Amino acid sequence: TQLLEQSPQFLSIQEGENLTVYCNSSSVFSSLQWYRQEPGEGPVLLVTVVTGGEVKKLKRLTFQFGDARKDSSLHITAAQPGDTGLYLCPSNTGNQFYFGTGTSLTVIP
Amino acid sequence: KAGVTQTPRYLIKTRGQQVTLSCSPISGHRSVSWYQQTPGQGLQFLFEYFSETQRNKGNFPGRFSGRQFSNSRSEMNVSTLELGDSALYLCASSLTGQSYGYTFGSGTRLTVV
């Protein structure tokens, strides 16, 4: 059974600050996705990383996949209120995703 | 291209009733998964359908069932509704499965009173 931990569970910051959220697994990810979910909507896929050590940038968001493919981080530079949402990195177990409870981010204007 | 469409968007039902939710995946996507989301439990996997066959099932009671049609549209049914079934029900589609991520619909907000 793959154990998944996302931290922190809750994060509230001021607009313009930087932040990092983490995703750690007890097992190796075959591939890893990050999603963001806004209140009342479904999660939206932000990025997929496949190779250990891979770094992907999406505007102010930087995603890093650990060398051992068991952990990942998401760094947001100069956070904006539009970044508010629930950030999820599901683990793969067979043909289903385990999403966990994610990191809830609030960016205060 | 059109996204994943879930209907209805909101639903209020009474305990003991049954409900059917619908999901139309992105054209060409053959895998459809259903999730239940509640504030305390996060997103919990219900089941996945691929080419009209249930390929995987989560840990939910038999009151929760689903099916997929030949055009990949999917429905889920909940019988004998309980107050604890109040949740956001999300449908997600992908070409063949999870490896490259899912596209989610906006969900159906079910309230059981």
B70-86, pLDDT tens digit by residue?
Answer: 999 999 999 999 999 99
pLDDT confidence bin for A3, thresholds 50/70/90: confident
Residue with tokens 């530079």: A77
A79 to chain B nearest CA, in Å?
24
Counted residue by residue, chain A has a size of 109
Q: Answer yes or no: do A41 and B107 touch at CB < 8 A.
A: yes
Rounded CA separation B97/B113 (Å):
35
Could you give phi then psi for residue A4, rounded to 5 degrees?
A: -120, 135
Whether A108 shows a pLDDT value over 80: the answer reads yes
| Three-point CA angle A41, A46, A49, nearest 5° | 145
Say which of B97, B101, B109 has its CB closest to residue A48: B101
pLDDT one-digit tens code per residue, A46-94: 999 889 999 999 999 999 999 999 999 999 999 999 999 999 998 776 6
Hunting for tokens 């994060």 — which residue is that? Answer: A11
Whether the predicted pLDDT of B6 surpasses 90: yes
Cα–Cα dist A37/B38, whole Å? 13
* Beta-strand relationship, B10-13 and B108-112: parallel
Contacts of B43 in chain A (CB under 8 A): 43, 88, 99-100
d(CA A73, CA A85): 16
Q: What single-letter DSSP state applies at residue A94?
A: T
Mutate to test the interface with B, among A41, A56, A97, A104 (most CBs of B within 10 A): A97
Residues B56 and B61: their CA atoms lie apart, in Å, by 14
